[in-house]
Chains A and B, each alone.
Chain A
């Protein structure tokens, strides 16, 4: 069975990471584009949210697919990290980084931070469990409501600490995508030979656009552009 061949080799494991990573890249692009509707007003944003929820089973199918991709992505990363650690039991007294980027060197612990952020984010905006104003009936801003996504966004991002968490998390997403969006294509052998193999135009654009799009929303709310 070819999946077993893949699972048994480091290249196969990395390829599973690459495919699931590309699925997640596609997801964050769509997610980011959806978020930008906050600039079009509550009717548009809440209408989009109602539309997504009206798809019923299809929505759960997509959620299941994304969850599977995420679990496989993290599992493969964990296994490959262990293989890499075992491959050099005695480290150098000194080893200089000459070609690797900050992005590539922060993939592992930056990935752990992103995973923690995803858990927080789901408890924050999807379930409302960790919504700061939810337990405060006297709060100026409205409490969490499943049907008022726009209200949730505006309410949540009036808290500068919440904005700080999202802004920092998106910086790590920027780094993760800068390396991941490029290396996943290369890992799958889909790249053409290049005289500058470390250069990455498309991945740079994807990383910056996703970062700008995601960061714009909390910052705009905090600055009072979206109210």
Chain B
């Protein structure tokens, strides 16, 4: 199959970019989307051109590196799938495919389709951790956890931090990401000591990184390759509101973190 690609090319963050048209010839429908780009890049290199820069690592849908906007949809047309797991059989011969980087003020373009997602790391640094005495691995089931809680925590923990939620959100909000991190720790007993402080700090950092607010459009959960539900946003808001209203109590409880 043959495709026409319109790819965002931008040499570096501080220069203007533009959509450039390329022909992807003899594409095998069993290729992944990234393999298709590899083939296009091989041709560009042998023709002496600069290959298209795109982020990728594991290529099995767990590292969260390979996000890109494909025909206006984060990670392309296949639901619950990262770009690396998207196959060319999802496209038809002769299709025009527009490929753009994630667009958000908090995600500056480094080159072509590669954006800097460090803002998400800084949200994690602000409170996405637990401080618990470490040592030998504890025996199984010494700490009872309700099945419902462990399942919900695992659903939230599936977040790979790819940034598709931000990319798909009309407001460029990082609420699904932050909500997932707050939920996955806040649902488990190990996450309780810092639960409310965590909500305050991670939400403050999220706002500081100039992401937009949540309007509950629902685009994020549709775009999420791990199909994380907007329920995590309700949980984040609940923890944040409780923490904000009871903030004085929290402070008098001692702030070691």
Contact = CB atoms under 8 A, between A and B. Distances in A.
Interface stretch (B22-30, B40-48, B136-144, B227-235): B227-235
Interface residues of B, number: 54
B184 to A, nearest CB: 14
Contacts, number: 161
A90 B103 contact: yes
A99 B12 CA distance: 33
A96 B8 CA distance: 17
A87 B219 contact: no
B231 A193 contact: yes
B51 interface: no
Contacts of B245: 2
B214 A14 contact: yes
Interface string A165-184: 00000000000000100110
Contacts of A101: 218
A88 B104 contact: yes
Contacts of B221: 99, 197
A113 interface: no
Given A5-B247, A104-B218, A189-B241, A87 B203 contact: no
Contact of A99 (B200, B218, B234): B218
A186 B234 contact: yes
A187 to B, nearest CB: 6
A188 B103 contact: no
Interface of B: 6, 8, 19, 69, 71-73, 98, 100, 103-106, 152, 168, 170-173, 200, 203-204, 206-207, 210-219, 221-223, 229-231, 233-241, 244-248
